[in-house]
Each structure stands twice: as structure tokens, then as C-alpha cells.
Structure 1
Amino acid sequence: MPIVNSLNAAAAEVAGWRRHLHRHPELGYAVEGTAAYVAEKLETFGVDAVATGIGRTGVVGVIHGRAPGRTIALRADMDALPILETSGKDWASEVPGKMHACGHDGHTAMLLAAARHLAETRNFAGTVVLVFQPAEEAGGGAKAMIDDGLMTRFGVDAVYGMHNAPGIPVGRFALRSGAFLASCDTITIDLEGVGGHAATPHLCCDTVLAGAAIVQAVQHIVSRTIDPIASAVISITCFNAGFTDNVIPQTGRLVGTVRTLSPAVRDHVEARLRTVVETTAAAYGVKAVLDYNREYPVLVNHERETGFAAEVARDVAGVDAVDTAMPPELGSEDFAFMLEARPGAFIFVGNGNTAGLHHPAYDFDDAAIPYGASYWVRLVERALPA
């Protein structure tokens, strides 16, 4: 079962949908225009039901097969990123400072293409739930949709997700069972010392010096307290203190992220951060308060569903075009919440030799559309055989 012929024939039309979405990017939960576009398409395709406002601005389409059976959900994300696009494409973003730099426009278009095909053919027994999610990049839209009854209201038994991957050739897929993508936590460290004149540092407790020491000290948590075979990243990405050349600032703030691939390592990093941050600051006479915010959990692919997803991908792309041992990555994905709620699997589809995700010159490769859309269709037809 290679690429579905009708999806290949419609690839240019679907690319047009994708490019429309690319021109009109929206952020987070504020994806009203995108959601309306998706809902209108689903209504036009003749799906059995369309629900809007799930998880604030999410859209859900429902398609029933030829006979009763299990229910599986397929998820695409709709939101863009606050990045100024530099791709130079004819379909580049028309909204300054916003762009689809992660390919969610492609994800949405591929699932819409599969939705039309499934609504027309209904060559399956059971129900397909098409999930178009807001706020994947920030805000936890997956959790919001789950909290709004996504799994229970629509009777979902299993859930599948897909993301494009620059660097993997178009026409290839990659995945792995178990821990696949990292947890994502944010940290904010507020510092308070004693400010004063830059010429009299002995009368001050310098928040800049304390902050610099903290930036270095937290790296020892990864290099010296975590098993080298395990994985963790602590990145301090923002340091704000002071406003002029001759004043030692009274306060400062550090902001960063923590990524891990296991709950145990995640717990360890949080505990060690509190100790290292507070004691390092105290050594400089500065008070430090750490706010540790857990955002996305580790994305863990279920073994049985991952094996099944790999089989479907081989049907579409060929036996040699599917990597089932892709190394885990320290990027994160809020699809992890859905895999905590129901069994399922997350897979990457190749995007070719393009700029990387979240890069201002990135663009989704439309040549991937027939592969991704065919994967969705074949997955439904195999998971819910008529």
C-alpha cells in the first residue's frame, strides 16, 4: 500500500491550503482564523460532526466508518511562532513578527487532506476523531483539550500524532518506542542583593556577580550529579540586571529551561537546582528565589502502538524508509499529555534539507504532503479494518 493515489493527485491543492495558512499565522490560543478555516473545510468535506471551542479554540471533526468499532484520534497542531520570517517565499507570512516556523501549517493541511479522503471513502469500521489543536508551542493546548473532555466526550481509545523533521529526507519516517521527546520545564530565578555605586562594590552585594556564578554552577548539576548515560539540559537563556554603567543593581532575574527524559531525573534536577541556586547566591550575600514551573511531561510512545505506526509507515514509504530507532531528542511536545491519557504513538515525517524548526528561514516542504496524508489514511484503514 504505497501513497494513496487520490492524495498524490490532490497534493497541489492541499499545498494551496497549507500556503494560505502559512500567510496567516496565529499564535497560541488566538488561532480563531485558522480554527474557522479548518472547521469550514471539515463541513465542506461532509464529516459527521464538527465541534469548535474545545480547549478554548481547538477544533474536532468526527467521521464514522461503515460499521461500529473502536475510536482513534489523529492530532495536528495549528499555532505558529513569534518569529519574523526571512524565507523569501511567495507565500511568506503576511503578519510581521509571526510565522509558521515549525510546520504546523503543513500538519494541519495533511490532516485536512486525510479527513476529506476518509469522509469520501469511509473504508473503515469505527470512528475517527480529527483533532486540530491550538497552543502547542506554548500554553499546553493538548492538556486544555483533554481537560475539556476530548478523550471522554469523543470516546477515544487510542491517539496518534505526527511532526515534520528537517534533516530527514522527504518520503521517510522515524520514531521509537518509549521515551522519545523530553519534558519541558521553565525556571525563573529572582535575585535581590544590595545595590549601590559601581565604585564602591565592597558596600554592595552584587546581583550580577551572583547571577553569573549561578549560570555556571547549575551546569555542574548535569555534568556531575546525573548519570552520563541519562540525559538532561539546563539552559539559562535570559539574564536581566541593571540599567546603566555606574550602578550595581539591587535586583536581577535569570530565566531558562530544563529538559529531561525521565521523571526521576526531572525530580532530581528540580531538587538540586533549589539547593545550588540558593546556596550559590548566599555565598555572594544575595537572596535567590527559584520558581520552577513544570510544563510538558516526557513524551513516551507506547510499545504496541509504536510498532503498529511503524508498520503503517512502511506500507506508505517502504520497508527501508522507516527508522524505528531514532535517538531521543531533548525537544518537547505537548502531545505527551495525550499519550499520558491514551495509548498511542508519535512519528516524524521527513521534511528534507530545509532550515531547522523555529528558524526564520524555515518552510514546510510540500513534497511531504502525500506521505503524511497517506500515513493518516492507511493508519485508519489498518487500525479500523472494514
Structure 2
Amino acid sequence: MSEHAPELETLLERNTRNTPAPATDIPDGPPLQQALARHRRYCELGDTLDSRDELQAIRHRIHQNPELAFQELQTAELVASRLEAWGYEVTRGVGGTGVVGTLRSGEGGRSIGIRADMDALPIQELTGLPYASANAGRMHACGHDGHTTVLLGAARQLARTRRFRGTVHLIFQPAEEIGAGGGAERMLADGLFERFPCDAIFGLHNHPGVETGTFMFRTGPLMAACDTVVITIRGKGGHAARPHQSVDPILVAGSLVMALQSVVARNIDPNETAVVTIGTLHAGHAANVIPDSARMELSVRSFSPEVRAALESRIRQIVTAQAESYGASAEIDYQRGYPVLVNSEAETEFARQVAEELVGPDKVVAPCARVAGSEDFAYFLQQRPGCFVRLGNGVGKPLLHNAGYDFNDALLTVGAAYWTRLVERYLE
């Protein structure tokens, strides 16, 4: 290899410009031929740089016009029109406002799905950016504008090079943010995998707090199941001066705030991970009135079916017994949300290898820590093997779901190159 180093450097430089090397330029020697073939066949970081300005303009346009769950009409049409212009077979209205772009190349029989989410959040943007949200009370505070644009970047690159054999389905999903009944479930109910068969499926989410462009992988449970619990405590209202004649639901609620903290601390194995957070507590309207009822809402997170079941059982027991001990009653609406997101072993290892090839091992973290947030990509992984990837959005950046958050444009071409290379490697 060393004797051909100058030739290899020249040929690899030519390859990053997407200019094929003439056969006469290839020196003898199997190692060099293999290296050349490898670098010519798969996308490199430099291959997508010429798309940077176009992708940034698309991302800023989507960011400035955020749309909530199942209202992503402008975003979906932008996606569909771009895909059609690049030669994709486009299907609109999948699962509501979802879009699937299909591209085939060669005679390969394998197929792969890559998913991006499109919806925004009901948050008032406070970034002050020139492309800040023009829709009051709505913003892309989770980076779905970036996820969508990254996948469009890969779509453009795959269409112009077509260095794969098989079928790629690019899945642009609506309504990831709303919980149960969201876009993944709706697309699956609309026959996603029957209409667009995928041997494996992959997805990506940006990750603030981690160095820009760092890829993060974990086999098995990566993101938590998310359940919502609505508790209504029924007491007996009365005069604040005569509490002995009433059953105070606020007192019951106060005791539950403390008692529920014991669920994780004293009922779940310390080697497991679980979260019980009381997000809302509402009761009463006046200082001199004991209300009839109080309402609490909990967010419950877990990483295994066994822990998930144990949390529900214990929460029900504590709420019921605690209310009864004060002479009150409790109604419990336990809402199962997104399941645990579980990455399959082979596909996660494959996705990690692709990242190391693209950016080097120093920019890859595996295994990364679990993420207590939830993702409806978990529903796709229940039906097909695959991997959900985290990609560093930068250290010191605002967190997700924050009014000051913004997706890092430096990730656009990196993510596009990654998806392109992953497809090329999977559909060799």
C-alpha cells in the first residue's frame, strides 16, 4: 500500500468530487484496488458539502413555518415535491400527513427504511433568529426540521449517485410529539411495512450537550417507555374554617406527592432505571374554601416491561390506599404511551461501523448512556429490526423542548452523508 500512497491520495480526492477514476488510473495490487473500490463505492463527508447551502435554506424554511402534529401540510408538500424532482416515487397521505419516497436501483432484492419526523411543538420561540417561527405558539424545539432536512440531503445524494442495489424507502413521519396515537402508530395502521417493505429500519435524533457530529449508539433498550397517569382525588368540600366537616383532597394530594417518590426508591431494583415525575397538581379556587377534588398528572418512565408493570401496580396501590386512609377516593386513568425503544444488536453494530468509517472512532460513542426521553420510533422497532441513532448537537446548546433551542446546521451535511453511506453499505 505505501508504494502507491500518492496515487491513492489523488484517486480518493477525485472520488470525493464524485468523479469516477478511469480504469487505467488504478495501479496493480489487490490491497490498493480494494481500498479504491471501497472509497469509490461509499459516500464520504465531502460528497455532500455542495448541498450545504440548499439544505440550510430548506431547514430554515421549515423552521420558520412549524406545523403541529397531523397538520404538517406545507412541510409534507415541500418534502414530496423535492423527492419527486429528484426522481423518487412519492406516496402522500400515509398515516395522515406522512410521506414516503421510494427509490430503486439495480437488481438487488433487499430493502431499507430511513425515517425522519416532521412535526413541531406548541412552544413560543424565543431564539430571536432571522428565521424564527412565524407561527405564534409553535416552534421546532426538538429539531425535527433538521431531521427532515438531513434525510432530504441523503435523498438528493442517493438519487444522483445511485450506488446501491435494492430499494430504499425514505419515511417522513408526522406527529411524533403527541404521545399515544401518534404518527408511527398511524403509519403502521395504514400498512406502512406492507406497502413499503423494509428488511431493516433506521432513525436519528439530535442530542444537545454532546460534541457536534458525535454519533451515539446503544444495543438493546435506549429510550424509555413513557406512561401518563391522571389521578382525580374525590373528597368533600367545605369551609376552610371547619376542616373537620370536610375531607380535604389537597391534603391527600400533598401526601401522595411524597408517597409516590418511594415507588422508585423502595420498589424498583437499584440496578434498573425508572422515573416517576409529578408534572401537574391542580385544586381549589379560593383560600377560604376546601375543594371537592384535586387532580394530579404523572409522567412515568421505564426501560423494561417488568419494571413498567411493577411501576403501574405500585402506583395504583399507593394512590388507592393513601386516599382511603384520609376518607377520600381516587380515580386512576393509567395511560400507556410509547413503549421502550429497543435497538437490535446486528443493525446497531452495523450502524456503528458505518459511523466509524465516515467520521472515525473518536467521533463515535458506543455504548452511550440510556435516554429517559421517549420516541414513537419504538413502534417501528417492534415490527422490524433496526437502530435509532443519537447525533451530538453541540456542547452548551439549549436543551430539547426549550424556547431557545435551534438545530445545529453543521449536522446537515454530516447526517446526509451518514444516511447515504448507510444505505449504500446495506444495499451493496
**TM-score normalized with structure 2 length:** 0.88
Q: Which residue of 2 aligns with 1:377?
A: 420
Cα separation, 2, equivalents of 1:168 and 1:308: 22
Q: Which residue of 2 aligns with 1:53?
A: 93
Amino acid corresponding to residue 416 of structure 2 in structure 1: A
Q: Which residue of 2 aligns with 1:84?
A: 124
**1:244 maps onto 2:280 in alignment:** no
Matches within 5 A, 1:122-137: 122-137=162-177
**1:365 maps onto 2:392 in alignment:** no
Cα separation, 1, equivalents of 2:250 and 2:334: 21
Amino acid corresponding to residue 136 of structure 1 in structure 2: E
Deviations 1:88-122 (A, max 9, x none): 11111111111000000000000001111111221
Q: Which residue of 2 aligns with 1:118?
A: 158
Q: Secondary structure at the match of 1:114?
A: helix
- Higher alpha-carbon deviation: 12-21 or 1-10: 1-10
Q: Which residue of 2 aligns with 1:15?
A: 56
Picking from 185, 201, 222, the partner of 2:243 is 201
Query: Tell me, which stretches of 5 or more residues in structure 1 are unaligned?
Result: none
Q: Which residue of 1 aligns with 2:370?
A: 328
Aligned length: 384
TM-aligned CA deviation for residue 4 of structure 1: 3.7
Q: Which 4+ stretches in 1 moved above 4 angstroms?
A: none
Amino acid corresponding to residue 365 of structure 1 in structure 2: N
Q: Which residue of 2 aligns with 1:291?
A: 333
Cα separation, 1, equivalents of 2:82 and 2:287: 57
Answer yes or no: is the 8 Å Cα contact 2:104–2:168 preserved in 1.
Answer: yes
Q: Secondary structure at the match of 1:221?
A: helix
TM-aligned CA deviation for residue 165 of structure 1: 0.7
Q: Which residue of 1 aligns with 2:385?
A: 343
Cα separation, 2, equivalents of 1:272 and 1:55: 36
Q: Secondary structure at the match of 1:86?
A: coil
Matches within 5 A, 1:34-49: 34-47=75-88, 49=89
Deviations 1:214-253 (A, max 9, x none): 1111110100010011011011101111111111000111
Matches within 5 A, 1:133-148: 133-139=173-179, 140-148=182-190
Q: Which residue of 2 aligns with 1:319?
A: 361
Answer yes or no: is the 8 Å Cα contact 2:108–2:427 preserved in 1.
Answer: no
Amino acid corresponding to residue 244 of structure 1 in structure 2: A
Answer yes or no: is the 8 Å Cα contact 1:3–1:370 preserved in 2.
Answer: no
Q: Secondary structure at the match of 1:168?
A: coil
Cα separation, 1, equivalents of 2:369 and 2:336: 24
**1:101 maps onto 2:144 in alignment:** no
TM-aligned CA deviation for residue 83 of structure 1: 0.8
**1:5 maps onto 2:46 in alignment:** yes
Answer yes or no: is the 8 Å Cα contact 1:66–1:123 preserved in 2.
Answer: no
- Higher alpha-carbon deviation: 195-204 or 162-171: 162-171
**1:62 maps onto 2:102 in alignment:** yes
TM-aligned CA deviation for residue 68 of structure 1: 2.7
TM-aligned CA deviation for residue 158 of structure 1: 0.6
Cα separation, 2, equivalents of 1:32 and 1:186: 29
Q: Which residue of 2 aligns with 1:30?
A: 71
Answer yes or no: is the 8 Å Cα contact 1:27–1:81 preserved in 2.
Answer: yes
Cα separation, 1, equivalents of 2:106 and 2:161: 9
Q: Identity rate of aligned residues, in percent? A: 48
Amino acid corresponding to residue 403 of structure 2 in structure 1: P
Answer yes or no: is the 8 Å Cα contact 2:47–2:417 preserved in 1.
Answer: no
Deviations 1:310-354 (A, max 9, x none): 011112111221111101111111100011010000111111121
Cα separation, 2, equivalents of 1:368 and 1:59: 23
TM-aligned CA deviation for residue 3 of structure 1: 3.6
Cα separation, 1, equivalents of 2:391 and 2:414: 8
Q: Which residue of 2 aligns with 1:159?
A: 201
TM-aligned CA deviation for residue 6 of structure 1: 3.4
Answer yes or no: is the 8 Å Cα contact 1:166–1:356 preserved in 2.
Answer: yes
Amino acid corresponding to residue 216 of structure 2 in structure 1: A
TM-aligned CA deviation for residue 36 of structure 1: 1.1
**TM-score normalized with structure 1 length:** 0.98
Cα separation, 2, equivalents of 1:375 and 1:5: 11
Cα separation, 1, equivalents of 2:106 and 2:129: 42
Q: Which residue of 1 aligns with 2:324?
A: 282
- Higher alpha-carbon deviation: 312-321 or 72-81: 312-321
- Higher alpha-carbon deviation: 307-316 or 4-13: 4-13
Query: Tell me, which stretches of 5 or more residues in structure 2 are unaligned?
Result: 1-38
Deviations 1:244-295 (A, max 9, x none): 1111000111012100010100000001111000111111111101111111
Picking from 304, 307, 313, the partner of 1:265 is 307
Cα separation, 1, equivalents of 2:302 and 2:246: 37
Amino acid corresponding to residue 384 of structure 1 in structure 2: L
Deviations 1:127-184 (A, max 9, x none): 0000000111114211111111111111111100001111111121011101100001
Cα separation, 1, equivalents of 2:289 and 2:58: 55
Amino acid corresponding to residue 106 of structure 1 in structure 2: G
Q: Secondary structure at the match of 2:412?
A: helix
